[in-house]
Structure 1
Amino acid sequence: MKEDFLHYLWKFKKFDTLNLQTVRNESITIIRTGDYLELAGPDFFNAQIAIGDQKWAGNVEIHLKSSDWYVHGHENDAAYENVILHVVWEHDTDIYGKNNRQIPVLVLKDYVSSDLLSSYNALIIPKSWIFCEKSIGEIDEFVFKNWRERLFLERLERKSKFIYDLLEETNHDWEAVLFSLLAKNFGLNTNGNSFLQIAKSIPFSIIRKESFEVENLEAMLLGTSGLLNDEKEDVYFIDLKLRYYYLLNKYQLEKRHVDTVQFFKHRPDNFPTIRLSQLANLYHKHQNIFSKIIDLKSVKSVYDLLGVSASLYWQNHYQFDKKSIRKPKVLSKAFLDLIIINTIIPIQFAYSNMRNESISEDLIAFMNEVTPEKNAIIDKFDSFGISCENAFETQSLLELKNEYCNQKACLKCALGMNLLKSN
């Protein structure tokens, strides 16, 4: 038994409300259950309850056991002085408030049907990967569709917090924010934090000024990453290194330490040398890319705008001093799909929010064009009969698994609530 189930029971009155009594045999009539705000303090605010012949207005606190009142120290907390009813599953001790007033107690288990309790137990008892894995495929498609939209927007809201933090750090320079966000996502999971540190270490004003000469941009990015620290005979390496130290001196910058970029376990096309060169070429090609990114509305428009490759040197190199078979190092459609998911859609969402504009439907339509992601979580949902046709659906399932299933928040999940009601 979990307290969130008791919250669910009280909020939706999922119990026999006709013959309620306190543990002292006083009749209870619920006029208003109160507001479930999930804030510090009592669980439900501004409730209205008649106990015996007296009508009360105040707050309701819910616990598994009456003694939890003392375990949590509520008797000495002024926030709980206005509690008019203590709702519990089991009553094991009388409860008194700060002013030594005995607080009425309702034992909820006496009024909950065995069928509902069985449905709850069937929902939340872990079986393996998620609690409802045997039932999730039976959920009404309309319910699932609406919940997917909410999950997708919640995911964007979470991602926006990082963008707003960057906005504060850059004095509300959206171009600089986009540069940091792109850098992070060009680094993927392994090098994302290192690339973000690189972007933050270079004042964006320098990126703007040097964007007309791609070798200078590449020198700044590779130099800041530490990839130019060694001594090599490679002509291109030497040229970039000279440019890097010239730019440090020109702008009176100090060398910054960033986390070491990783080559291990990466496919060669994802080596940090290649990705940083591609990022440099992107900013060489587009000096004011934010205004272009913010207006993108289709996958094709992204492919057209961001269709860049690494510099000529990297066509037959993956690392300095090591020649390879010539291959154009263009940004692949699969990689650009990830940029749409993790950069373009989140920054469009955050920017529209800052301008008090709603573009949720446009973003969902955009994501419906993007190829669905492939990973272990999506494969597992597919085994339960939940297939995905686009990235909008995969993103919503990732949010479901990480923020609801993993947190055992079934009673905050529309799917869990639907299964509980249907059972």
Structure 2
Amino acid sequence: MNFPEDFLHYVWQFRSFDYSELQTSAGENLEIIHPGLLNRNAGPDFSHAKIKIGDTLWAGNVEIHLKSSDWLKHNHQNDQSYENVILHVVYEHDAEIKRIDGTLLPVLELKNRIAASLISKYENLFLTLTDFPCVAQIGQVDRLIVDSFLSRTLVARFEEKTLAVNETLSEMKGDWDETFYRFMARNFGFKVNALPFELLAKAVPQNIYAKHKDNPLQIEALVFGAAGFLKDKFTETYPQKLKTEFEFLQKKYRIKPLEASIWKFMRMRPQNFPTIRLAQFAALILKSNHLFSKIIEIKKVADLHTLFDVLPVNDYWKSHYHFKKEAVGVKTQIGKTSVDNILLNTVALFLFAYGKYTDTQFYQSRAIKLLESLPAEDNAITGKFLAAGVQIENAFASQGILQLKKQYCDQKKCLTCGIGIKILKQA
């Protein structure tokens, strides 16, 4: 017996055992009318079950253990919440159990009723040392089953991330635009510089930019100055103007600049230098201040892409990757891959979160459609599922895969995974 109690939960819930001519350990005929509902909280394992024992129909709870004596080990004999257990389902019956009132608890032993092939298949899944348990079987599972469960894991991923959105929204006193601005800023850092961008957003709230939306130089001065890049002496006209503007704005808004040293340049393509990203960030603020308000007004998913097209990045950056360092042929626009990343990780998330918050299905559906329009993510995790035969055609599927790996595969929760259950049923 090399399986946990959860395996018996699966066996009972899906009746994956020989239930012909069932009898209790006392020899009474037993019929399962309804196995009950799985309870993941405290108390008996299944509730609202209907069982016929002899000529009597019982309604109540079912408790499941590997051995009957586990009832005593778990101290259920002193717990009133187990008094309504109508059947004790065990793999091995090794002890007679009585309720608190002294009545004998009916027992169903499954030891000789579970197919050896099912136990073997479960053990192969659960004990595998591969990247995910069903790596050898998932490719043979009907695609409809896989896609259906990925839809579920995708929603779970959105709901999990929505908690962080709601937490920040609360800090922002319900201001969706400012909350979105904080998350988008972090996204602009693309992991390596995510934290500095987040700190920058906190240093200069969006409402400050709004007061200078008609003055590109002041917006750029606020961004680069607060980021800590205007502390040096400059000979070129553009950075010197930025420095002069920021010295005034810094005093006006009492801005405390970040240390430039927190921005990471090492082992990074020049196109992804934080200075270029900051120039693009300033241009996006210029083009679309209070961006989230514009996003929720857009009706077509395709139009969301246009928000990040043709940003008014200052021409200075066409010949610079950094202040004081000239370059040739610098691309100042955000690349398609980066735009897709922002649409995936921030825009889609906020459409879903806003839809949940306002109980508006339209925005949740638009978040899903947006993911369906974006290419699948290419990373180590999605690559392994692709190699195993899973079709991942868009970001909807790749996001579902990432949550599947995190929520089920990494925790070996094959018995509550729709794909794992299907594989076991094929035993």
TM-score, L = length of structure 2: 0.85
Match of 1:333 in 2: 336
| Aligned with residue 403 of structure 1, among 407, 411, 426 | 407
Match of 1:353 in 2: 356
Aligned positions, number: 422
Tell me if the contact between 1:275 and 1:310 (Cα under 8 Å) persists in the aligned partners.
no
Show CA shifts across 1:24-58 (max 9, x none): 55554333322224223332222233455655433
SS of match in other structure, 2:51: strand
**Larger deviation, residues 238-247 vs 287-296:** 238-247
Q: 1:335 Cα shift?
A: 0.8
> Runs of 5+ in structure 2 lacking a partner?
none
Match of 2:14 in 1: 12
Tell me if the contact between 1:59 and 1:85 (Cα under 8 Å) persists in the aligned partners.
yes
Provide the rounded CA distance (Å) in 2 between the counterparts of 1:34 and 1:408: 24
For 1:168, give the aligned amino acid. S
Provide the rounded CA distance (Å) in 2 between the counterparts of 1:40 and 1:344: 38
SS of match in other structure, 1:109: coil
* Structure 1 segment 19-418 matched on structure 2, within 5 A: 19-25=21-27, 27-51=29-53, 55-69=57-71, 72=74, 74=76, 79-92=81-94, 103-126=105-128, 128-228=130-230, 230-233=231-234, 235=236, 236-237=238-239, 239-252=241-254, 260-296=262-298, 300-307=302-309, 308=311, 310-359=313-362, 361-418=365-422
Provide the rounded CA distance (Å) in 1 between the counterparts of 2:241 and 2:82: 69
Provide the rounded CA distance (Å) in 2 between the counterparts of 1:280 and 1:142: 44
**Larger deviation, residues 203-212 vs 327-336:** 203-212
> Runs of 5+ in structure 1 lacking a partner?
none
Tell me if the contact between 2:321 and 2:330 (Cα under 8 Å) persists in the aligned partners.
no
Provide the rounded CA distance (Å) in 2 between the counterparts of 1:240 and 1:96: 82
Provide the rounded CA distance (Å) in 2 between the counterparts of 1:328 and 1:195: 21
Provide the rounded CA distance (Å) in 2 between the counterparts of 1:125 and 1:221: 52
Provide the rounded CA distance (Å) in 2 between the counterparts of 1:310 and 1:70: 72
Provide the rounded CA distance (Å) in 2 between the counterparts of 1:24 and 1:92: 13
Q: 1:175 Cα shift?
A: 0.9
**Larger deviation, residues 203-212 vs 279-288:** 203-212
Tell me if the contact between 2:203 and 2:255 (Cα under 8 Å) persists in the aligned partners.
no
For 1:114, give the aligned amino acid. A
Show CA shifts across 1:110-151 (max 9, x none): 322223323333443415222222222222222233233333
TM-score, L = length of structure 1: 0.86
Distance change (3 Å), C-alpha of 1:79 and 1:382? same
Show CA shifts across 1:77-102 (max 9, x none): 55445444333334455556677776
Coordinate RMSD, CA, aligned: 3.2
Q: Percent of aligned positions with the same letter in both sequences?
A: 39
**Larger deviation, residues 323-332 vs 25-34:** 25-34
Q: 1:239 Cα shift?
A: 4.5
For 1:273, give the aligned amino acid. T
**Larger deviation, residues 236-245 vs 152-161:** 236-245
